Structure 1
């Protein structure tokens, strides 16, 4: 089983102007750096929580069909865009939308309504494409936006080689915001 980003977010939860205001930066000299720091902060928030903040496309690849409903581990899931199975001839066949249903929740699940075709290859013969994320920047919860702000500020403040140790740890304020949302792995 693997989960792959197939369509990156079209934007970030916070604009460059919002991040610069939070950082109290008035000049344009570091705009590219600050935009990169904000993107890295969003990525870290997504990695820690397992959430997709801005709408993005994902692909879950499976070797075989599980017995129970299939968990889509990148919430919140907006929609399933396609489920495809590779035949022994190498041709991908897309299931009809009526053959499956999205069960909303954390995590969302795919319920197969009819017995699906068996993949013709041993590894990676099933692809489930789905759209995840809260939507656009306005739909991202404020707690997550604040964590992005705090992480971007931390990265901005600690960008010299002497502070490498500090960059590898999450600031307590951002960690506290994300603690209730942390993805728990067993």
Structure 2
């Protein structure tokens, strides 16, 4: 399984000015925007970390999932949520030559935790031996940062500020995330039962 981000978060969707205010950086000077590129980087890092921890895509963008085989031909779970639409399903043979599956043969089962690609008939189309399937889809909770729930907006700001303040620190443990951030994102984390058997 390989998940590829097809489009990145646009610069306009990032709250750089709000983050500058959150850090209480001075304003009204000629060089107000001199750190904007650095601040943007910390915002992107915070968004990525929270998405990885929760399995939720915050800012909407396009993804492609590549699989060598269906995990379950009666319905394939998608690795992130929420998914707004499946734009294309392509079956490729061992030489990489693809055939687009007719949209009438599948549907998206929306779910806030585990959205799934479902067959309209009994099973999803057969993947050629030695081939693969590519599923293109749109995922995200909001088109822009301001459309996110308040607790997630605050979590991103806190984590980006943490990264900014400790940007030279190398002694933090792996996976270190401030308590305030973990408590804000806890309710969004994907719950996996039975070792993720159907995932």
- Match of residue 189 from structure 2: 182
Please give the TM-score of this superposition, normalised by the length of structure 1: 0.88
2:48 counterpart of 1:74 = no
Listed as ranges, the matches of 1:31-110 within 5 Å are 31-65=36-70, 66-87=72-93, 90-105=96-111, 106-110=113-117
2:157 counterpart of 1:149 = yes
Deviations 1:26-53 (CA, angstroms, capped at 9, x unpaired): 2433222111111111111111111111
Which of 108, 119, 122 is the equivalent residue of 2:130? 122
Query: Contact 1:74–1:132 at 8 Å: present in 2 too?
Result: yes
Structure 2 distance, partners of 1:167, 1:88, is 39
Structure 2 distance, partners of 1:29, 1:11, is 16
Deviations 1:79-133 (CA, angstroms, capped at 9, x unpaired): 001001013564201111111111111211111124554333425x111111000
Please give the TM-score of this superposition, normalised by the length of structure 2: 0.82
CA RMSD between the two structures: 2.2
Deviation at 1:11, TM superposition (A): 4.2
Deviation at 1:12, TM superposition (A): 6.9
Deviation at 1:160, TM superposition (A): 2.1
Deviates more, 1:141-150 or 1:60-69: 60-69
Query: Contact 1:14–1:145 at 8 Å: present in 2 too?
Result: no
Runs of 4+ in 1 over 6 A off after TM superposition: none
Any unmatched runs of 5+ in structure 2? 27-31
In the alignment of these two chains, the number of paired residues is: 184
Deviation at 1:5, TM superposition (A): 1.4
